[in-house]
Structure 1
Amino acid sequence: MRRQMPSIRLSDRNLSTVLDKAKVEDAEDLAQWSFIVVGAFEPNRHGTPYVKPRAYEVAFLTPRG
C-alpha cells in the first residue's frame, strides 16, 4: 500500500523567499522537513492531501536529527 503524504505547492514567486527563510539552497532540501499549515487540505486528482497556494500561512519545521 502506498502512503499518501500531504504536500504543499511552492510557486516560483514564493520559492526564493521560502529557501531564504529556511536557509537552504534547493527545494529538495525541504523534503524531510515538517510543516504546519493555516488553511485547508483538499485531495488532488490522485487523492493525495494537498494544500492550495492560498493557504494563509505555512510554517516549516526543521527535521529532528
Structure 2
Amino acid sequence: MDLPELYKVADFLARYSISRTSFYREVAANRIRIRKFGSATRIAREDAEAWAASLPVSNGEAA
C-alpha cells in the first residue's frame, strides 16, 4: 500500500502562496480536502494539486 505524500499546513501555504485565513476558508467550502491525525492537519499532494488545477485561469484582461 502506497501512502500519500502529505504537506503540513505551513508547507502548503508557502508552496501555494495563500494565507492561513484563505486556506481555512477553502477548507470550509470543501474545496481543499484535509486529513487529521490527532490535532495535526495534513493535505495530500494529490488533493493540493487538484485544488490548484481547479483555480480559475485568467488571460490578464479585465472583465
Give the TM-score category using the shorter length: 0.3 to 0.5
Say which structure is richer in strand: 1
Q: TM-score, normalised by structure 2?
A: 0.34
